Amino acid sequence: MSAKKVLVTGATGRTGALVVEKLRCFPEEFEVFGLARSPAKVEERFGNTDGFYFGDIRDRSTLETALEGCDALVILTSAVPKMQTPPQPGQRPQFDFEPGGRPEEVDFQGQVNQIDVAQAAGIEQIVLVGSMGGTNENHPLNRIGDGNILVWKRKAEDYLMQSGIDYTIIRAGGLLDQPGGVRELIVGHNDELLAHPPDDIPTSIPRADVAEVVVQALRQPNSHNTAFDIISRPEDDPKAEVTEDFAALFAQAAAVSVS
């Protein structure tokens, strides 16, 4: 069997870089390409720029070059809020988006560009990492820079679901920079886990676990056409049973998922 050619966008992001690293551990299974904006950032993170394309998801021509001949696309791009001038002592920090980097431009139009170009290139599967909270228009994250980030992310997910391409949409809870592979992962639907987390656990998950779910989504056929929320039990939770069976996880995801 020939290796699956996979393009990861947002590949210098905190989760995207982990996905690239994990996929590269299986060269017989995956031929991995990254899309990033900054060669310097790629050098710093990976040591060299081998296997990278450079460009911006707002520009379809870069995407066309990068997606040519690929089998699958992993979307890990996101608008990134920046802190405005450092707050005075006692004041809360204010965040905003750079011009051209607002959620409507990145999380919606940028994702739509990727989906459209992927469709034209004959891509078989798109794995998209999104965010929990998208059912609540009044979610505090939507107020950052008046960007409605979760609203635009959700619109892009809807666009993907209607595209006809096989999709896996992983809506993560709060992301943690903690070790992966040591927690039980819990899937849910439409933010129900935010409203009623089991045993009142925090609604969070390590980026490394999200990256592993992305890799497994590319492997497990039953990940196709699922859209689900995901959090984790804390590592020291006595009830936790570390997730190792990803076919079973995607079966649960399919059960809660709606198209």
Ligand X SMILES: NC(=O)c1ccc[n+]([C@@H]2O[C@H](COP(=O)([O-])OP(=O)(O)OC[C@H]3O[C@@H](n4cnc5c(N)ncnc54)[C@H](OP(=O)(O)O)[C@@H]3O)[C@@H](O)[C@H]2O)c1
175 forms part of the interface with ligand X (CB under 6 A): yes
- 140's CB contacts (< 8 A; 6+ apart) are none
The region of 6-14, 26-34, 84-92, 193-201 touching ligand X under the rule CB under 6 A is: 6-14
Q: Which of 5, 41, 189, 219 binds ligand X (CB under 6 A)?
A: 41
Check residue 102 and report its DSSP letter. S
Within 67-86, the residues that bind ligand X by CB under 6 A are 76-78, 80
The one catalytic residue among 38, 61, 78, 131:
131
From CA 197, how far away is CA 10, in angstroms rounded?
A: 29
At residue 71, φ and ψ (nearest 5 deg) are: -100, -30
Neighbours of 144 (CB within 10 A): 17
Within 204-233, the residues that bind ligand X by CB under 6 A are 207
CB of 254 to ligand X, least distance (A): 21
Q: Which residues pair with 30 in a beta bridge?
A: 4
Q: Which of 6, 7, 12, 160 binds ligand X (CB under 6 A)?
A: 12
**Spatial contact of 117 and 64, defined as CB atoms under 8 Å apart:** yes
At residue 57, φ and ψ (nearest 5 deg) are: -70, -10
CB nearest ligand X: which residue? 13
174 forms part of the interface with ligand X (CB under 6 A): yes
Q: Which of 63, 106, 227, 231 binds ligand X (CB under 6 A)?
A: 106
Within 120-149, the residues that bind ligand X by CB under 6 A are 129, 131
Q: Is 61 a catalytic residue?
A: no
CB of 172 to ligand X, least distance (A): 4
Nearer to ligand X, 123 or 231 (CB): 231
16 forms part of the interface with ligand X (CB under 6 A): yes
Binding-site size, ligand X (CB under 6 A): 26
Cα Rg of the chain (Å, integer): 18
From CA 239, how far away is CA 233, in angstroms rounded?
A: 8
What tokens were used for 229? 């929320």
- In terms of Cβ atoms closer than 10 Å to its own Cβ (0-12, 13-18, 19+), residue 104 is middle
**Sites of contact with ligand X (CB under 6 A):** 10, 12-16, 36-38, 41, 56-58, 76-78, 80, 101, 106, 110, 129, 131, 172, 174-175, 207
Give the residue numbers annotated as catalytic, written as ranges: 131
